[in-house]
Each structure stands twice: as structure tokens, then as C-alpha cells.
């Protein structure tokens, strides 16, 4: 008669095996379909820079270009060789950075949020969100360009400018210029992502200091101690805004914050991350997919399900599976949910939104999502590389 421990081991082994199969499928899709398509059709060889969206017949004409898309695509292609793509990422990474520096930098050193495809400035506002992604792209570009002194210098100067122009007298940073309010958790999350990336490759003390400050902000201001949920919109006192806006909880951000907090190295951060995942799994996942938004009483606010929350769920669960193998089953569930968005389309494209009726909206694929997909597949790849039997994945 089998003991309970043997049965549990066999269940975990089966879940890990299913996760390996999922990993192969997602990585093969990324290498053979997504990277070739977006390298070929997603980059503008005439004007430079990356297109905002791709349809089955190519780029969508006339789209304005967000700064965050330019640097998210730099991130995606900087990570391509490590994931097995054999194309050349260097022209794409360099081209994206060159387009950014040529057209998005403002006189004060921050980066404007929007330009036309020819580089004409369309929106002069500078958001903390965009600055965080510029910092992230500069860090990730090291993976293919090496530790270039000019890019290290760009990051250092940009961080100094952010602290000079956007740092508040109290905790955290203003949301941007000229609109400093409301205060937002999302750009602080991506700033934490960026400074974690810089902490891994630089010994400059600023990055470690910022990690500590941003973790403290999350633990003391952004996460509601009673419910364990993380809120999105705040007033100048870091109290949630009045009205529905102040009660919104995005399951995708619960998972994304959890993934980041797990990487910060403190017991407090890890405990908060685990609670965020539990809240997200219990309240934010319906019908196997992570929903767009709840309210802080955990009622559904937006029952549609975009693609990006599925990637953030996969990232968080895969990171948890590094230390607790019982999460592998949930990893497989989240990965299969993600695969639904990649099916029934020309290879390398994806659906962005699943409606409450269980149907996908037919629309061009947004380039901004490739960053999410790459990060999720890379995290799954890394988690399985450290799991028992990892040689079977290569």
C-alpha cells in the first residue's frame, strides 16, 4: 500500500512534468514564432524604433508610439539570446535606444511619454512609469551590449533626475510632470523592478537604497494590512482616494508585486508576497483566468481578462515553486490559461482581451505585451532549471 508521502511525491512529479511540457511549448513559440515576427515586422527600418501594434498583415499604420513600448521592446530583445533565439538582437536593442534618446528626451532630462512615428513630440508629459522602464531597459541591455559606460552613465543621470524632480518630501515619488497626483502604486512597482535589475549588475549604493525604500513603501502604504490586498490610487497623504478609484485592486498587480517582493531578500517582503498571491488566487482568478480588476471587498469590478495578468500570475507562481513544489500545479493552470491567448492566430501574435462571454476581442496585438510574455517565460525557464530533473529540459 502506497504511503501518503509517496502519493504526494508522485503528484508533484506529475505536475513538474506538465510544467516542463508547458515550458517547452511556450519557449518554442517565443523562439520560432514571436521573436522572428516582431524582429522583422515590429521594427521600423525606415524611421527607426518599434511599432505599437501588429495585425496579421503587418504594422498598424498611423499609430503614435509610446515611450514605454520602445524600451519594453529593448527589454524583450535583450533577453532573447538567453531564451534560445539565434537571431541578432543587437541592431534592435541599439535601434530602440537610439530612437528613444533622439526623440523622447526632454530638456529637463526626463523622457516624454508619446511621439509620432517620425519622432515628432505629441505629448510632453513625463510619467514616473516611463522613466522606470527606461531604467529597466538600460539595465537589461547589458545582456547583449555589455557594461557600456555610456549606458551606465545614462541610468545614473536619469535616476538623479528622477530623485530631483519627482521625489516627494515624504515617501515615494510623484506620478509625473506636470500632474504629480494622484500617487500611483504601479509606477513604483516598475521602478522597483528597474532598481532590482541595476542592483544585480552594479555596486553603486543608490540601487540597494532604493530597493529598501520601495519595499518599505509597499509594505507600509500600498498594501492594506487588513485584507492583504494592494491598492492602486492614493492621495497626497498615501491614503486611498475617495470613491471607487481608491478601492480598485488589480489581480495582475498582486502577482507582479509578489514576484518582485520575493526577489528583495527580506522575510517581511517574502511574507507579504505570499499573502498577495493567496489573495490573487482566491479572489482574482475566475474560470481559470486572472481578471482585470476587483474592489477591495473582493467583489468583481472588471470581469474581462487581459493577457498581461496571466503572465504575472505565471511569474509569481513559478517563483514560489522554486521553494514550494506544491505550486507547480497552479503554474501549469496559469500557463495553460496564457496559451489560450496565443492560439488560433497567425504565429507570433496574441489576443489581448478575453471578454466576460469567454470570447477574445479581434484586434491587433499590442507590442507592449511582448515584455510580459518574455519575463514570464524566462521566469518559468529559470524555475524549472532549478527543479529536480532539470537536465530533462535541455
Going by C-alpha positions, the residue among 175, 263, 170, 279 that lies closest to residue 220 is: 170
Could you tell me which residues come within 8 angstroms of residue 81 by beta carbon, excluding any fewer than 6 positions away?
89, 143, 144
Going by C-alpha positions, the residue among 246, 244, 212 that lies closest to residue 230 is: 246
Once rounded to an integer, what is the mean pLDDT over residues 338-352? 95
- Predicted pLDDT of residue 204: 97
Which neighbouring-strand residues pair with 58?
55
**SS3 per residue for 85-141:** CCCCCHHHHHHHHHHHHHHCECCCCCECCEECCCCCEEECCEEHHHHHHHHHHHHHC
Query: pLDDT tier at 99 (50, 70, 90 boundaries)?
Result: very high
- Predicted pLDDT of residue 12: 79
Query: pLDDT tier at 394 (50, 70, 90 boundaries)?
Result: very low
Per residue in 38-67, pLDDT (tens digit) is 999 999 999 999 999 999 999 999 999 999
- Predicted pLDDT of residue 389: 67
Q: Report all structural domains of the chain as residue ranges with CATH numbers, in order of start.
A: 4-393 (1.50.10.10)
Once rounded to an integer, what is the mean pLDDT over residues 159-186? 97
- Predicted pLDDT of residue 390: 62
- Asked if residue 109 has pLDDT above 70, the reply is yes
- Predicted pLDDT of residue 326: 93
Query: pLDDT tier at 2 (50, 70, 90 boundaries)?
Result: low
Helix (H) or strand (E) run with residue 305 in it: strand 305-306
- Predicted pLDDT of residue 9: 65
Continuous H helices in the chain: 4-29, 35-40, 67-78, 90-103, 128-140, 142-145, 149-165, 185-201, 205-217, 251-262, 267-283, 307-321, 328-340, 369-385
The C-alpha atoms of residue 62 and residue 118 are separated, in whole angstroms, by 10
- Predicted pLDDT of residue 387: 87
Torsion of CA 105, 110, 113, 116, to 10 degrees: -10
What the block records as the C-alpha cell of 166 is: 519627482
Per residue in 167-176, pLDDT (tens digit) is 999 999 999 9
Contact between residue 95 and residue 115 where contact means Cβ atoms under 8 Å apart:
no
pTM reported for the whole predicted model: 0.96
- Predicted pLDDT of residue 393: 39
Contact between residue 366 and residue 304 where contact means Cβ atoms under 8 Å apart:
no
Amino acid at each position: 500500500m502506497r504511503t501518503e508521502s509517496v502519493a504526494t511525491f508522485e503528484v508533484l512529479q506529475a505536475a513538474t512534468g506538465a510544467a516542463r511540457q508547458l515550458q517547452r511549448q511556450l519557449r518554442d513559440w517565443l523562439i520560432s514564432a514571436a521573436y522572428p515576427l516582431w524582429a522583422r515586422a515590429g521594427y521600423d527600418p525606415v524611421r527607426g524604433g518599434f511599432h505599437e501594434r501588429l495585425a496579421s498583415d503587418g504594422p498598424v499604420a498611423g499609430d503614435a508610439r509610446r515611450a514605454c513600448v520602445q524600451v519594453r521592446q529593448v527589454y524583450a530583445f535583450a533577453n532573447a539570446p538567453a531564451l534560445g533565439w539565434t537571431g541578432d538582437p543587437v541592431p534592435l536593442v541599439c535601434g530602440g535606444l537610439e530612437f528613444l534618446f533622439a526623440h523622447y528626451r526632454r530638456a529637463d532630462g526626463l523622457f516624454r511619454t508619446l511621439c509620432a512615428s517620425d519622432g515628432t513630440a505629441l505629448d510632453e508629459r513625463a510619467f514616473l512609469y516611463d522613466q522606470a522602464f527606461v531604467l529597466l531597459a538600460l539595465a537589461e541591455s547589458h545582456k547583449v551590449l555589455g557594461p557600456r559606460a555610456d549606458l551606465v552613465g545614462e541610468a545614473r543621470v536619469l535616476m538623479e533626475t528622477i530623485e530631483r524632480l519627482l521625489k516627494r518630501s515624504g515617501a515615494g515619488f510623484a506620478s509625473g510632470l506636470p500632474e504629480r497626483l494622484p500617487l500611483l502604486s504601479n509606477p513604483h512597482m516598475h521602478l522597483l523592478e528597474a532598481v532590482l535589475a541595476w542592483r544585480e549588475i552594479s555596486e553603486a549604493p543608490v540601487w540597494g537604497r532604493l530597493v529598501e525604500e520601495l519595499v518599505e513603501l509597499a509594505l507600509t502604504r500600498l498594501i492594506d494590512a487588513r485584507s492583504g490586498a494592494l491598492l492602486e490610487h492614493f492621495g497626497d497623504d498615501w491614503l486611498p482616494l475617495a470613491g471607487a478609484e481608491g478601492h480598485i485592486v488589480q489581480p495582475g498587480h498582486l502577482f507582479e508585486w509578489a514576484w518582485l517582493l520575493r526577489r528583495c531578500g527580506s522575510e517581511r517582503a517574502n511574507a507579504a508576497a505570499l499573502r498577495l498571491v493567496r489573495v490573487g488566487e482566491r479572489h482574482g482568478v475566475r474560470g481559470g483566468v486572472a481578471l482585470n480588476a476587483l474592489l477591495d471587498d473582493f467583489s468583481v469590478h472588471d470581469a474581462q481578462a487581459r493577457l498581461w495578468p496571466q503572465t504575472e500570475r505565471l511569474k509569481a507562481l513559478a517563483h514560489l515553486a522554486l521553494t514550494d513544489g506544491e505550486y507547480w500545479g497552479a503554474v501549469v493552470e496559469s500557463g495553460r490559461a496564457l496559451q489560450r491567448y496565443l492560439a488560433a492566430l497567425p504565429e507570433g501574435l496574441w489576443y489581448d482581451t478575453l471578454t466576460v462571454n469567454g470570447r477574445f476581442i479581434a484586434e491587433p496585438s499590442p507590442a507592449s505585451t511582448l515584455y510580459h510574455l518574455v519575463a514570464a517565460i524566462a521566469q518559468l525557464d529559470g524555475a524549472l532549471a532549478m527543479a529536480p530533473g532539470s537536465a530533462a529540459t535541455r
